[in-house]
Chain A
């Protein structure tokens, strides 16, 4: 995004609040500074930009506490944008931003969501006879489990370039974001402009991992500045801003109870889940905790469940989706209580799981989603098969083994695609989804090429420009192949049909008399037209398709072997087995890449990653010196395998593969750590000190 240069480009820097909760009592902007063009405050945005919209998931209540584009009278997290400075260069904008004087009167801080008086989100789900099942249970096992806040840390930070043409009243904005559609819709809402008067272009994006699914408030400021000034304006977030200003993930705690019979039958589950949502509701903030709640029966045929989710306001940057987006939390909570249940019953964890897996599809979960397809038993068996020899403790190391299952919602809603025959016989496909590192070009070309019966290199994909891309929702929730890919398949088939009809017209035959073979039309009498010939004979052939479906449910079984060094508490991941069922796999190499990448992020969460706010609600992990990411050196051997249970809900049979690694890994490692510690349950990240203290305490007991 930062590579985009336009004539007359001005640059944006933000004045961010150093206070986590304060009243702004005075704000003085510099009249002049080298290269200074303008300073914008919330007052300047009145009538030009309103707060970001809020999206409440089905059945959830969401408070009307949206993220302002720029803070008004009150700031609610350290890093919140208070004023924007436009200057001739980013450096000069930063210099001028230092001259903006803001007086703050500190207000009371809320850091712990459990102590927050402000509920932003609430959702309750219930199905089956929960009270009856708990009354009838032989054993009730319960636990409190938590996942820390995490930063997504994409290689490329956020950013936007906005340009306004007064002649045709068109605002064009290039964003480092996950897709055009949500940016487009949200920007139109914030600016109060007709969608047709905004063009959103997503250039090549250096990663998102969920963190670029909402419009950045700063991008809206760039848009307003470009319109006010009549000059294009660029905002390129720096790494510090990304750590303090980009929405984070997770930060969820659950109290979970599982009712069991002594024979190992799961009867019911109850959970109370508290999410630390931060200071405001961004458009996607409410979605991950809702997903966590909905998935709290996991892969198991639990007849009754009651789950309450509350999202509390704290003085931290808001949260939102981060790879897994509610699913890793659900898998971790469910799989932890299941393992604790197995320990209580004296049963092998794998055996307790086997006895309770959902095995018939479609399966309506008591919480309200319907699992479409899967072979959970096969996933679990395969994970056990691929596990190496049982790790053995010795004088220096404790050893542990953990298994975990997951079920993941993917897909849903709709996407579309347009296939056009180009002169020379190549095929262009415009897809409504947007790649940001997943390899859509390759996968979608394969999908189209298979239907057109041509080599994939004859298919050219285009994405991510609202002026030309067909309608859709976007790239998130592991949905691109299932939804966008299915639309591409349908569009390619529609183009084949269109070509047959065109040939039929040329030959004065009925379309039914023509067949499609090796990328061309063939008649019964042996006449043929290749794609290139068709393009010459009937220019402009084109077909569009829209694909819509309910959610599809991927699943998997993960297995982890760990060792913990007795002297230092160091956790060493010895081996991870990742078995994923994403239905039909279109491109095995890219699919495995997704699993490996997700697993690496899941391991990062287990070993080192945690966003920390101190007692003044200041983020103390706002640079790479303090927020650690794993390197290749920390990666253990990872064995991957796919089980392919095609979904009946789309023409490809494909479900989602983008997040499984990040979902299954923390739950499996968590269980392995608990196994190594003799059942003692700790939450990630499993830092040396945390593990060492746990070992010390058990020695003292």
Chain B
């Protein structure tokens, strides 16, 4: 293999300092404008390799065990930011009570990516074609942020701003995602379209439905960030057929082909959710 350390080490990124804190507090002291947290690295490392991201320091949070957990707390689901995506895919608790998360995660890249990639990393990276931000948006998740000077909690609407841009301040870290309970018997559907298996999604739709009680429709690829289709949700709650719900939601995707594609995806997701 090429390079086995020393001066000859074969790394692609521009030079950076590297820290491996053991605790969240230490990590929060380290991160800042020039200092980025490194979690699963599935998006950050390619950006580093292209030298599109050039942080002065990487703060490797992978050895902070307190950031990786998946548990039910009261009725809510709490997901530590460092939890690997594969945990959502395999958890019986998630499958039973928040099946949308399981379905969305299964669409994330390939198995290798889901094994290494973290839930918090996907959220904080805010790729407009990522599945988990859309699923969390559909589930009214709350995002808990910490910095060395304090803590705050944001909803999806406030957190996601633009492609690859969130409301996280440079010295803030996403530490937990809290997913509120769904009504008993709620069903979900997540359908996306990608050019090939495992490729980035072109568009997608997440639908949650508990007839008469709860309805959510969130869209991937309809804008610069995850969008809730409120008119479609109202119609869904009132028992409108999937096709009608889909037509309302697809209006948010603009015209022409993106709209036709979105209509098809929302219809299929709504049907999976029982509409």
Contact = CB atoms under 8 A, between A and B. Distances in A.
- Whether A and B are associated in the same complex: the answer reads yes
Contacts of A91: 9-12
Given A2-B2, A91-B12, A240-B50, A631 B196 contact: yes
A94 interface: yes
Contacts of B260: 567-569, 692
B197 interface: yes
Interface string B32-57: 00000000000000100011000000
A89 B197 contact: no
Given A569-B257, A692-B257, A608 B10 contact: no
A623 B9 CA distance: 24
Contact of B264 (A90, A236, A240, A567): A567
A142 to B, nearest CB: 30
Contacts of B15: 95
Contacts of A628: 195-196, 199
A96 to B, nearest CB: 12
Interface string B238-275: 00000000000000000011001101100000000000
Interface string A620-638: 0001010011111110000
B261 A89 contact: no
A156 to B, nearest CB: 13
Given A567-B263, A631-B198, A90 B2 contact: yes
A89 B198 contact: no
Interface residues of B, number: 28
Contacts of B8: 11, 88-89
Contacts of A570: 193
A35 interface: yes
B261 A688 contact: yes
Interface string B6-31: 01111110110000000000000000
Interface residues of A, number: 36
Contacts of A693: 256-257
A44 interface: no
Contacts of B46: 625
A251 B104 CA distance: 38
A419 to B, nearest CB: 36
Interface string A1-45: 011010000010000000000000000000000010000000000
A238 interface: yes
A89 B10 contact: yes
B7 A568 contact: no
B150 interface: no
A608 B196 contact: yes
Contacts of B50: 240, 623
Contact of B193 (A5, A35, A238, A568): A568
A633 B12 contact: no
B3 interface: yes
Interface string B142-166: 0000000000000000000000000
Contact of B7 (A88, A94, A625, A688): A88
Nearest to B193: A568
A634 B260 CA distance: 23
Interface in A91-108: 91-92, 94-95, 98
Contacts of A568: 193, 260-261, 264
Interface string B100-118: 0000000000000000000
A73 interface: no
Given A2-B1, A633-B198, A688-B257, 11 more contacts: A2-B2, A89-B9, A98-B14, A236-B2, A567-B260, A567-B261, A568-B193, A625-B200, A628-B196, A629-B196, A689-B257
28 contacts: A5-B2, A11-B8, A88-B7, A89-B7, A89-B10, A91-B10, A92-B7, A95-B15, A98-B14, A236-B2, A240-B50, A565-B264, A567-B260, A567-B263, A567-B264, A568-B260, A569-B257, A570-B193, A608-B195, A625-B46, A629-B196, A630-B196, A632-B197, A633-B196, A688-B261, A692-B257, A692-B260, A693-B257
Interface of B: 1-3, 7-12, 14-15, 46, 50-51, 193, 195-200, 202, 256-257, 260-261, 263-264
The 4 A-B pairs of least Cβ separation, nearest first, read: A633-B197, A567-B264, A89-B8, A689-B257
